[in-house]
Structure 1
Amino acid sequence: MSDIALPASLRVFERGWLSSNNILLVDEERTALVDTGYATHAEQTVALVQHALAGRALDTIVNTHLHSDHCGGNARLQTQWRSETLIPAASEHAVRAWDEARLTFGATGQTCERFTFTDTLAPGMRLKLGGIDWDVIGAPGHDPDSLMLYASEPRVLISADALWEHGFGVIFPELEGGSGFAEQQAVLDAIARLDVATVIPGHGAPFSDVGAALERAYSRLAWLRADPSRNAKNALKVLIVFKLLEVRAMRFAALEAMLADAAILHAAAQQLAPQSAWPTLLRELAGELAKSGALVLREDGIEAPAHAA
């Protein structure tokens, strides 16, 4: 992690792109973890938290949103410590019914072990974590139910996937005919109005040059809105690389099957080509990803590069 000054009660576990960052907040009364990573990293998440807490229990889990890379460790952490769990209020019914279609796990070709929750969070609420008062702010765009946490003192924003140092998360609602670009614009505008010294993103290191990050995010959003197929193409690339980080290697036949079965992948591919052309589309995307170093291209499939975590 970069040398960013953070409150002593707050610690960031910067994870690889398969898992979101985890933010541990500890005070005399309560310990809490914001976002829990992906399911295949759950044991590692438990070990990281266990070591940091040095014998204390994890009292509270807070999820900014319920994409699998942000809540995939919930179940394992709940088993270890019986932690109370706070989720976005808009996701309450989907979790209670364990509606996997609404929760998008299967729709993105990902997995998440079933977990429970004890309470919900909604925009306008306030909670105390790590001895710090945090305002809950709605952050639709990347995900309709997503939330951010903002502390006016010490001017820290936990932005999840609404703002990274170099962009933001895929605008998923736009893939299935919903609205997401306008919502992402509004979230960036809301961040711009806040007095923020440090952003802790869902992926990547915490950063302090918020103005530059916002400029890059506004520029990227305008580029995506000018041609929505760019968002679809980006989504396919991101989800293919994500899956590859989990399984390490895939044949093109398995990729084609994933596109057919996973609703969000299917919708993104349909924006780019008719289904008969998907084999060609996949090879083109794989070629572009190979050139960027995100994967290794083989004759019959793809592999994760040796350095990928």
Structure 2
Amino acid sequence: MIALPASMRVFERGWLSSNNVLLVDDACTALVDTGYATHAPQTVALVRSALKTRPLDLIVNTHLHSDHCGGNALLQATWPCRTLIPASEASAVREWNEARLSFRATGQTCERFGFTGTIAPGAQLRLGALDWQVLGAPGHDPHSLMLYCADERILISADALWENGFGVIFPELEGESGFAEQQAVLDTISTLDVRVVIPGHGAPFTHVEQALERAFSRIAWLRADPARNARNALKVLIVFKLLEVREMSFDALLRMTGEAAAMRAAASLLKPSSEWPALLRGMIEELATHQGPLAVDGARIVARR
């Protein structure tokens, strides 16, 4: 069991939802990241059970991918909580510009939410009676942030560092720089005195040096052949969607690949559109072997989990 301050509680979530970090002190109850939209009722139930009669006062989003902010709307409807988002995303959220936000591009959903303030690298937050420094974490997402508590040596890393890797480098799919930024974020983490990492996905961990070694190795592997990132991205987006809807026809998946910008970009980096049917069939076969996350049932693809 990893020791965390009494004011902190981590809700480790499964597929579709990011982890949620609840921080409570006398002045404020705060939740860092809120999971995916279809899991929002569960997120509310987890928070309500932990807080008892207290309301949720504040939501803090490390970034606005749907699995990190999909519970915002329901939490805001349940409690009159303030919400802090990355400053660079403010205009997109204010306008609810889904072309600039990632939801439409990934074929995912997120109910519209509002915000009351913004945070940016260099900001300081007081959460759970602890002081947190806001750090930039571009790479996986250009707007992503991390939270670092120097006194407790805790890093809330979002998708910048997991125990075994990090999130898909989405900017590279659109021809934007992302590998260099991810490398720089890992370099930054390596300079911090970190005892515990609370990742966006997976259990909190203490073997930080080993996790960094694996992450540095992975970014070098991806940079050596950008198609590796594209292939991983397409697989991740396919599995995510199937786990959300539970089953889908192959034709529907093929249509979604052409319509969702991130999926289209990833597929285009791998094969010309005329070869996408064969590309997708090959990926589905890979994901269905050895009790993988998907199965094929005639003309339909089914999620196993």
Give the TM-score of the pair, scaled to structure 1.
0.97
- What does 1:91-240 align with in structure 2 at a 5 Å threshold? 91-240=89-238
Deviation, structure 1 residue 299: 3.0
Off by >6 Å, runs of 4+ in structure 1? none
Matched residue, 2:298: 299
Aligned length: 304
Deviations 1:200-231 (A, max 9, x none): 00000000000000000011111110000000
2:87 paired with 1:89: yes
**Counterpart-to-counterpart distance in 2, 1:302 and 1:235:** 18
Q: Which amino acid aligns with 1:303?
A: V
Deviation, structure 1 residue 289: 1.1
2:275 paired with 1:250: no
Matched residue, 1:268: 266
**Counterpart-to-counterpart distance in 2, 1:60 and 1:203:** 21
Matched residue, 2:25: 27
1:103 is paired with a residue whose SS is coil
Deviation, structure 1 residue 295: 1.1
Deviation, structure 1 residue 104: 1.1
Give the TM-score of the pair, scaled to structure 2.
0.99
2:99 is paired with a residue whose SS is helix
Deviation, structure 1 residue 294: 1.8
**Counterpart-to-counterpart distance in 1, 2:213 and 2:144:** 21
Deviation, structure 1 residue 301: 2.8
Seq. identity, %:
70
**Counterpart-to-counterpart distance in 2, 1:161 and 1:247:** 24
Matched residue, 2:280: 282
**Counterpart-to-counterpart distance in 2, 1:204 and 1:287:** 26
Deviations 1:49-68 (A, max 9, x none): 00000010000000000000
Deviations 1:16-65 (A, max 9, x none): 12000000000011000000000000011000000000010000000000
**Root-mean-square deviation (Å):** 0.7
Structure 1: runs of 5+ lacking an equivalent: none
